[in-house]
Each structure stands twice: as C-alpha cells, then as structure tokens.
Amino acid sequence: MPFGHSLANKLVFSKVKAALGLDRCRIAISGAAPIMKETLDFFMYFDIQIMEIYGMSESSGPHTLSLPWRFRIGEVGPDMPGASTRLDNPDAEGNGEVCMGGRHVFMGYLNTEEKTRDAIDPQGWLHSGDIGRKDEDKFLRITGRIKELIITAGGENIPPVLIEDVVKEELPCISNAMLIGDKRKFLAILLTFKTQVDSDLQPTSKLSAPALDWCKRIGSTATCLEDIIEKRDDKVLKAIQEGIDRANKRATSRAQCMQKWSILPRDFSVGGGELGPTLKLKRTVVHKMYEKTIDSFYADGGD
C-alpha cells in the first residue's frame, strides 16, 4: 500500500464506500460478462478491489478466480484448485481457445449426444468458444470469442476485442468500438461517443461528462454529436486520428493496424439492439445497421 493509505482510507475511502452502500462489502467479484478496465480502475480509486472470475455453467460455475493476494486488473486470475486450462491452437501471440479440464466439468447435455460431442472433445476437455492467453504467472486473460474472430483477405486471424480495448484506452471519449475487416484487405473501425441517456436509458446526442472533459482537453467546444459529425469539428477529428495512430503503434503486426474509422450518430444500447442483455456487442446486428458506412470504407477497391 502507498504511504498514507490508512489515513486516506479513514478520511475519504470509507465515506465513499458508505455513500455507495458498500461499507460492509469485504469481497467484490465480477463475472458472467466482460467488465471494462475503466470500471475496475474507477472502483480501485476508492480502494474497492473488484476481482474477476471466469467459467461456464458447463464447468459448474467458476474455473479461474482472482484473489486479493493474486489479482491483476484485466485478467480473470489463475486456475482454481483442481481445474486445468489448455489453450487450443494458439497463435503466435499465444491466443487460443480456452479449454477446461477437471472434475468440475459436466458430463454432458441431457439426451443430446451430438451437442455434448461438440462441447467436450475425446480427451475430456470442455471447449468454451472463448479466446484467451496466459502470462508468465499463469494468469488467464480473455481476448475474444472464436465466433468474433476476424479473418482478413490475407488469411490473418485477428481477435477484435483486443484492438477495440486498446482504442478505448487511447480515446477515453469512446464508449463502444467495433472492428471491421472480415474477408477484407485492411481493418477499419466504427466508433461511438460516450453520451447521456434519457429517462428510458436510451442514448441521446448530448456528450456525457467524460466525453465533454476530453473535448475540453483537446480545445474543442463540442457538446453534442451534431457538433462533431455534422459540423466536422476539426480538433475532435484530428484527436481521434491521433488516438487511432497510437493504437496502431501498439499493434503486433501490420495486418492489425486500422486504416479507416467512422463516428456513428448514436451510442450502442440494449434498447437499440446493438447490445445483448449482458452488454455483449451484437456484431452481426451492427454490421447490418451500418452496412453503407462499412461499404464506404472499401468503396475505392479496398475490399
């Protein structure tokens, strides 16, 4: 703990926890759906450590588990005692399908042998359909879904979630990002700004506080999406391009660099159909909704 932590906890953090109704919370755990790094960071500012667990119903619940003394933001922890993880068909960066082994893995689906064979291979490994990789300390990081995997025209397999997360790190004004490039010659990305929601929790065109703060930092007076998209705010557009450039510098290969991007006129939401109940991105839905925008990326023969 940093110097003065105990005093800060007594004077500040304890009051914040009480205001949030978490003053009696001893262990905070997130599971079932991905949680954004900025959410974890936010709670860490107030000394609330949210640990992630990962697993499936077919693995009796948890398979990996973060603990207060074994914890890293953005990773779902090491294997639980008695559980084993195998990464199937890993790529050059070590990303492979997460397969689970152990006595916690179920015997199969009732009266559906074919579905059981699809889930459990002959060696007894449960295939999750998730893509992940492990670090040198055996911590697992979920990097995407096999169904979400982008295969470019050049045959390179690209997990989009990794790149989308990097873009959101470089551009804190961005709420959602969706990578495009399946069977295409280059990658492009759709971006949505963080905006306020109305009484029905539907996104509006008014920028939210984090997006407004970001705009002020770059010298823009934009307060809504119309100021950015319709009025073509040069400062915002330049800053977005610079953020994309920084994200590209972090790419592991040239094929994983984004060449084009577009800001969408509204944020994604459950009500709008772009997100599922657990806030997972419905890529096929978004692709259909913004088909013209996507086609424009490749209109000059880039497909």
Name the CATH superfamily housing domain 5-148.
ANL, N-terminal domain (3.40.50.12780)
AA identity, residue 30: S
Burial (CB count within 10 angstroms: exposed 0-12, middle 13-18, buried 19+), residue 74: middle
Q: Can you give the pLDDT at residue 301?
A: 56
Q: Can you give the pLDDT at residue 31?
A: 86
Half-sphere exposure in the Cβ direction for 6 (13 Å, CA): 0
**Whether the Cβ atoms of residue 28 and residue 43 lie closer than 8 Å to each other:** yes
Query: Would the pTM of this model clear 0.75, i.e. be above it?
Result: no
Predicted confidence (pLDDT) per residue in 51-86, tens digit: 999 999 999 989 999 888 888 888 899 999 999 999
Each domain of the chain, given as residue ranges in start order, spans 5-148, 150-297
AA identity, residue 201: L
The DSSP line for 55-123 is EEGGGTEEEEE-BTTB--TT---SBPTT-EEEEES--TTS-EEEEEESTTS----TT-HHHHHHHB-TT
Q: Can you give the pLDDT at residue 228?
A: 95
Domain topology for 150-297: GMP Synthetase; Chain A, domain 3 (3.30.300)
Single out the residue of 56, 151, 37, 40 nearest to residue 98, CA to CA: 56
Predicted confidence (pLDDT) per residue in 74-119, tens digit: 889 999 999 999 999 888 788 899 999 999 999 999 999 999 998 9
CA distance 209 to 219: 15
**Whether the Cβ atoms of residue 194 and residue 267 lie closer than 8 Å to each other:** yes
**Whether the Cβ atoms of residue 65 and residue 80 lie closer than 8 Å to each other:** yes
Could you count the other beta carbons within 10 Å of the beta carbon of residue 78? 20
CA distance 261 to 73: 28
